[in-house]
Amino acid sequence: MNRNDAPKTPATFHVKSFGCQMNVYDGERMAEMLGTQGMTVAADGSEADLVILNTCHIREKAVDKVYSDIGRLTREDGTRPMIAVAGCVAQAEGSEIQRRARSVDIVVGPQAYHRLPDLIDKAGRGEDAVDTDMPLASKFGALPARTKQARPTAFLTIMEGCDKFCTYCVVPYTRGAEISRSWSAIIDEAKALVDGGVREITLLGQNVNAWTGEDDKGRKQGMDGLARELARIPDLKRIRYTTSHPNDMSDGLIAAHGDEPKLMPFLHLPVQSGNNRILKAMNRSHSAESYLRIIERVREMRPDIALSGDFIVGFPGETDAEFEDTLKIVEQARYAQCYSFKYSPRPGTPAADMDHQIPAAVMDDRLARLQALINRHQVEFNSATVGRTTDILLERKGRYPGQVIGKSPWLQSVVVTAPELSIGDMVEVDIISAGPNSLAGEISRRKAA
């Protein structure tokens, strides 16, 4: 392996995350860990001594992007940073990555990144630095405590892995079995985040609502109990969670949407398809009807809830009529926003070997039709907020002087001009206009923090 031009003892680093929110969270934890080791974030990513590509394996395109990025890391003068491939591609492909891309120094899976400092040392000595173990003891205990956060919002992974084995999906293989973190570890991390300035926490898990554990009195709890406990942290103003699975939408969680004011009225609940034959072939273990019944019950508890979903078009064997059922469920569910994808065959998953893979042109056409419908509903949802008065949590500065951007309870970006306000403030605004991707607001009155 040619490692001659890579730094042996990196002092600066850059983390690039490609995947889901849990992947972003992992990237943040890696960065915080390297920070406690005395390394600093490179002012300019292209000048970093160590580049960590925190990868995603969910669709083929995501994987291709990683390899093209690796190629681009070698600079014009022939030097390059030390390169680590972390995340789900690392888990899925292991040392194969180094055969395909010889400049990769470190390969570290999503359950092993607490060992990154050691792997950096090994790579510096020119030793093998591949770690895709899924150790029994969770990495979380080995990571340093959360540090002060730059933003008022934070992710907090409460469970990992997936036992559902949808036939198209790599996650059960890259992330392993469902494992819930302990009640106390989660509460402690939340408190540390809030002490560090965070006002909104998004609880994360591949199936976040499958979280289960015992509280400090030994009582069995689900994610709803956990959310209610977190809501008792005074300076924590908002709680969100993602991604939830329809089969884990418990009565308790649905009820919490009705009476826990800190639980935001937003639910990301993927259904993937509106056709029962396809749902069965996907091994989703819910039907279109049972899904619609769940969202109906959530809406009874919280009528203003904003829904979001994920869809796959062109699953093997999907007929035109079956795709029409997906358009139908979108009409029925009325999402505020959605993610939709063309089916991507993933090595090792059952669906990749199924007959009747759908041609790319058919998938393109279906995706365009689905997205047109979803976009129309998104515009309608945003327009319906015009005239409302609502809290927003200010998250970042806007493009123009004095502009700040916050999020509504329904996860919409709201732009306000308010030079006197600071990031992290909660303010009440009147929504005055809506575009497809953001709203404009005016301050109603300053809310007591």
- The reply on whether position 394 binds ligand SF4 by CB under 6 A is no
Between residue 105 and residue 124, which ones bind ligand SF4 under the rule CB under 6 A? Answer: none
CB of 154 to ligand F3S, least distance (A): 18
Q: Which tokens go with 119?
A: 């792997």
Peptide bond into 243 cis (omega under 30): yes
- Helix-then-strand count for the chain, H and E: 13, 21
Q: Which of 111, 167, 207, 412 binds ligand SAH (CB under 6 A)?
A: 207
User: Is 82 a residue that touches ligand F3S (CB under 6 A)?
Assistant: no
Q: Interaction with ligand SF4 in 115-174: which residues (CB under 6 A)?
A: 162, 164-166, 169, 171-172
Give whichever of 171 and 313 is closer to ligand SF4, judged by the CB atom: 171
Residue facing ligand F3S at closest CB distance? 19
Q: Which is nearer to ligand F3S, 269 or 426 (CB)?
A: 269
Q: Where are the beta strands (DSSP E) in 368-445?
A: 389-397, 403-407, 413-417, 426-434, 438-445
Angle at 440 between CA 436 and CA 445, to 5 degrees: 150
Question: Pattern of binders to ligand SAH over 251-290, x per CB under 6 A?
Answer: -------------------x-x------------------
**Cα separation, 151 vs 31, whole angstroms:** 15
Verify binding: residue 326, ligand SAH, rule CB under 6 A: no
Nearer to ligand SAH, 157 or 344 (CB): 344
Q: Which is closer to ligand SAH, CB of 17 or CB of 207?
A: 207
Those residues with Cβ within 8 angstroms of residue 378's Cβ, 6 or more apart along the chain or in another chain: 335, 336, 337, 338, 436
Q: Give the N- to C-terminal CA distance of the chain in Å, as an integer.
A: 56
281 binds ligand SF4 (CB under 6 A): no
| Interatomic CA distance for residues 441 and 405, integer angstroms | 10
Q: Is residue 159 involved in binding ligand F3S (CB under 6 A)?
A: no
Residues 6+ apart with CB under 8 A from 242: 21, 202, 203, 204, 208, 268
290 close to 246: Cβ distance less than 8 angstroms: yes
Closest separation in Å from C-beta 24 to ligand F3S:
9
Residues that bind ligand SF4 (CB under 6 A): 162, 164-166, 169, 171-172, 206-207, 245
Residues that bind ligand F3S (CB under 6 A): 19-20, 22-23, 56-58, 87-88, 170-171, 174-175
